[in-house]
Amino acid sequence: MHSTNPAPARTGIGFFLWALLVAAAALVAFSQTRAFVWDEGFHLLAAALVAQGKTVYVDFCFPQTPLNAYLNAGLIHLFSQNWHTPHLLAAMFAVGAMCLTARFVLRHLPTGESREWRWAGAGCAAVFTGLNITVMQFGTVAQAYGSGLFFCVAAFCAAVAAMRRRAALFTFVAGLFTGVAVGCSLLTAPVAIVLLAWTLWTNRGTARWLRSAAFLAGAAIPFTPVIWLFFQAPEQVFFNVFEYQALYRRANWPGINLHDIEVLTGWLNSTQALALGALALMGVRRVYRDAAWGREFRLALWLVLGLALFNATTHPTFERYFVFLVPFVSILAVAGLSGIRWRGAAVLAAVFMALSCAQALLEDRDASTWEEYKNVARKTAEVTPPGAMLYAEEPVYFLLRRTPPTGLEFSYTRNIQLAAAREKLLHVVSQAEFKKQIRAGRFATVQSCKDDLINYYELASVFPHEMDVEDCSIFWGKVKTVP
């Protein structure tokens, strides 16, 4: 008599493979077509400057930890200056995070779960992570969301392996991956705190301190370039990594508190977020009530709470900051879904999440893209005389392969004003100073997509020529005499 188990198992494997393939293909395809975030312009520009031989913080302002910029700089050095290869790298990081999340579910579901459900649960984890709309839109751009996602999940998996195998090497690796994640984005810092606390909690006696030391040693390695740079240029490093984040991110931003409230309540308007959150809450209840679920699922919950609290209090905050929660919420959501005793639940949940993602992308179909900025850059180049000075936004400098003047490598710093000596040291130029320079005729062309900035500079009264391209404006010509 033959067993009937293999056929259902094969069905589960088939669902898993299809889920993985569809999600991975969607991430890569979106990264090469529609993926665009305005802020990635200064990340790509920083990478281009590094590829030219410049040093972050010392030669230009870049208020971020630098590892992601250096990864992109390496791609620019190898494959020329374009946005496609950094997007592909980010998408592959997002795919890697999705695969690690699915692998965790496959390996760590309780032994009582059927083989078919293990594969189906892993497929759901892949869809919940890879076809999450926030991962799709932000994990595929040149900012550090994709790389941060991957190394957060890799650190989590290494920490779980260290607990199960009682191996200091895995603890060291967990620290190393955590350090790389934070070296890509400070938004992942809670992962370091939670995993260090986990290391202390799950070990006893001498092993507790030895493995905590191994974790910290691993976490410190990715920061050795920043530490070395700090001894060369302490004020510049401190400003970019700490001071700007703490004091200047909210400069000249009226209504910032209302903005944060809107972001923190935005999930109420997302069908996908509500569904995933409801499943995750069911999962939390199951994980804490059923002893069969291991401590690693509770670790996923603590990572969710740590990241959520930290990013909710990052002032101002943005929806994209919560992208790092997605793999861990997805793990808990699979735990919740496993409590629904219906074979089709996994397929239904995966299809629902995929359709929700597609609907959100459809609603956002009019968003800006790199192809639109190519049009802006081309028209800007046409009206700017060769060798003339150009005031533009970071994406335009990147597309034109032009080195911006001091202060425009990271244009947000124009919203702050420092003492003259500090501005020179930190490569900061205030908005008021730029207005004087524009009126004095320093720039042959000014390009901007920000109406408030165009009005502040009074560009229509300064330049004789104006042209609108996409949602941006270009001003050029001999500067008029302005009283």
**Cα–Cα distance between 170 and 3 in angstroms, integer?**
39
Contact partners, residue 355, CB within 8 Å, separation at least 6: none
Distance of alpha carbon 209 from alpha carbon 196, whole angstroms: 11
Q: Which of 25, 238, 11, 240 is nearest to 116 (CA)?
A: 11
pLDDT of the chain, 483 residues: tens digit per residue: 444 555 656 668 999 999 999 999 999 999 999 999 999 999 999 999 999 999 999 999 999 999 999 999 999 999 999 999 999 999 999 999 999 999 999 999 998 778 888 999 999 999 999 999 999 999 999 999 999 999 999 999 999 999 888 788 999 999 999 999 999 999 999 999 999 999 999 988 888 999 999 999 999 999 999 999 999 999 999 999 999 999 998 877 788 899 999 999 999 999 999 999 999 999 999 999 988 898 999 999 999 999 999 999 998 999 999 999 999 999 999 999 998 867 789 999 999 999 999 999 999 999 999 999 999 999 999 999 999 999 999 999 999 999 999 999 999 999 999 999 999 999 999 999 999 999 999 999 999 999 999 999 999 999 999 999 999 999 999 998 655
Contact 65, 226 (CB under 8 A): yes
Rounded to an integer, what distance in angstroms lies between the CA atom of residue 102 and that of residue 137?
Answer: 20
Residue indicated by tokens 């004003």: 417
Count of beta carbons in the 10 Å neighbourhood of residue 113: 13
DSSP 96-130: HHHHHHHHHHHHHS-TTS-HHHHHHHHHHHHHHHH
Q: Which residues contact 416 (CB under 8 A, 6 or more apart)?
A: 248, 251, 252, 428, 430
Rounded to two decimals, the pTM is: 0.95
> Of the candidates 251, 257, 294, 260, which has an alpha carbon nearest to the alpha carbon of residue 104?
294
Q: DSSP class of residue 340?
A: S
What distance in Å separates the CA atoms of residue 156 and residue 158, rounded to the nearest whole number?
5
